[in-house]
Amino acid sequence: MTHIKSLKHTPLSRFAFGTMQFGGTADESASAAMFDASCEAGINHFDTAHIYTNGRSETLLGGFIKDQRDDLVIATKVAYDGNGDPAKMQSDFDISRQRLDMDQVDILYLHQNVGDDLPRAMEWLAAQQTAGIIRYIGLSNFASWQVMKAVSLAHDLGTRIDIIQPMYNLVKRQAEVELLPMCSDQGITCASYSPLGGGLLTGKYNDGAGQGRLATDPRYNKRYSLDFMHETAHALADLSAEIGVNAATLAAAWVARHESAPNPILSARSVEQLRPSLDAMSFEMDDALYARIEALSPTPPPATDRWEERS
């Protein structure tokens, strides 16, 4: 396995922090406090995107990192609209670098699959890498076959896909079928997002009165609307109470415990909300607890759908 392990002689932290809330539900003060708390906990991998909070996320992050830039891994994304036109991506990336106040970005993702534009998008990414403007190439929200298509294109260009960013949590386990095994096989780092299921797995929605993205964002509400997901959240809360460990800590640590060793991307609106997730970084989850948590939600069938043969 040749996952990204270090950058500029800096070991990559096992957890990352996602700044999607910076400049939105988290104002500058709250964002700065979460950045500082993440650094103090040992996180050096920070993730943003061109579209987050209309650019405020990149601008705030760029201001926070100035005094420790050489010790951090900074990632951003282009092509959220699925447009792989190099001119459009170049324009957006130039704006992102201005906001971040960075000549070079460590990781640049295609935020979504760009369809037929993928060959020229990969050529553009490879050119950015050759010019030293980016270090690593990433893909976000790609299916495994789409990743492997990009892997082939990258190989022909003399480079590689270094990192992917799929959704993965206790109630969104599709990544286990092909994406996570593919990462292990291809030596691709997996920085998975939404380890808390949009807050569902913290238990705050269990009484129907929780406030957050599931209550305010129709996309998240639909994404986590299935009955079994809410049943799993209740079961995780019961287990949390039984063993005296916060449900958010268990949810984040469970993601990190997968045999493919994903790097979960933590996020929050405040330091107080973030603390239980940061606690997952030092929480030791044994095999028995991992299995108990895994059993709280359905395991997806293998890619062949021959689930009866799964050992």
**pLDDT at position 246:** 98
Joined tokens for residue 286: 């044994």
* Burial track 123-143 (b if 16+ CB lie within 10 A, e otherwise): ebbbebbeeebbbbbbbbbbe
- CATH 1.10.238.10 fits domain 6-165: no
pLDDT digits (tens, 9 = 90+) for 162-171: 999 999 999 9
Nearest CA to 249 out of 271, 229, 279 is that of 279
Query: Could you give the 3-state DSSP secondary structure of residue 156?
Result: helix
Active site residue 52: yes
Q: What is the pLDDT of residues 115-159, one digit of tens each?
A: 999 999 999 999 999 999 999 999 999 999 999 999 999 999 999
Check: CB of residue 191 under 8 Å from CB of residue 262.
Answer: yes
CA proximity to 191, closest of 202, 180, 199: 180
216, 276 Cβ separation under 8 angstroms:
no
The mean pLDDT of the chain is 94
Predicted confidence at residue 3, as pLDDT, reads 59
Alpha carbon distance, N-terminus to C-terminus of the chain = 24
Give me the residues paired with residue 26 across strands.
22
What's the predicted TM-score (pTM) here?
Answer: 0.94
What is the domain partition of the chain in residue ranges?
6-165
**pLDDT at residue number 190:** 97
The catalytically annotated residue of 52, 193, 220, 224 is 52
Q: For the chain, give the percent of residues with pLDDT over 70.
A: 95
β-strands 6-7, 10-11: how paired? antiparallel
Residue 101 pLDDT greater than 50, yes or no: yes
Q: How far is CA 114 from the centre of its chain?
A: 19
Q: To the nearest whole percent, how much of the chain has pLDDT over 90? A: 87
pLDDT reading at 9 higher than 60: no
Written as six digits, the tokens of 68 are 């420790």
Torsion of CA 196, 198, 203, 204, to 10 degrees: 140
What pLDDT digit, counting tens, does each position of 252-280 carry? 999 999 999 999 999 999 999 999 999 99
For the chain, how many helices (H) and strands (E)? 12, 10
Q: What is the dihedral of CA 112, 46, 273, 193, to 10 degrees?
A: 30
Report the pLDDT value the prediction gives residue 2, as an integer from 0 to 100.
46
